[in-house]
Amino acid sequence: MTDTMIWEYRVQTWGSIWKSNKDENLEALLNEWGEEGWEVISTQHGANSEKVKIIAKRPLTHSRHRERSYPS
């Protein structure tokens, strides 16, 4: 029997309509997420907006599962 992978997801809207979004800032954010084990699986660009919605996933570890099940 194979173990089924359980995922946790992260959704974040990045950017602002009030200031320009620099590629370097997005790159830094994505590198930070990568170091935390997140993998971007989808992006959505807002219509007439500088905002980008980023959707990422990573395997849900046993300790994170317990932490989410029993919040402090």
Average the pLDDT over 66-72 and give the result: 66
pLDDT at site 65 = 62
Contacts of residue 37, defined as CB under 8 A and 6 or more positions apart, other chains included, come to 58, 59
pLDDT at site 29 = 93
pLDDT at site 44 = 93
- Give the whole-angstrom CA distance, residue 43 versus residue 11: 10
pLDDT at site 51 = 86
- Give the whole-angstrom CA distance, residue 70 versus residue 7: 18
Beta strands in 1-72 (DSSP E): 7-14, 39-45, 52-59
pLDDT tens, position by position, 12-62: 998 876 666 788 988 999 999 999 999 999 999 877 777 889 999 999 987
Kind plus residue range of the DSSP H or E element containing 66 = helix 62-69
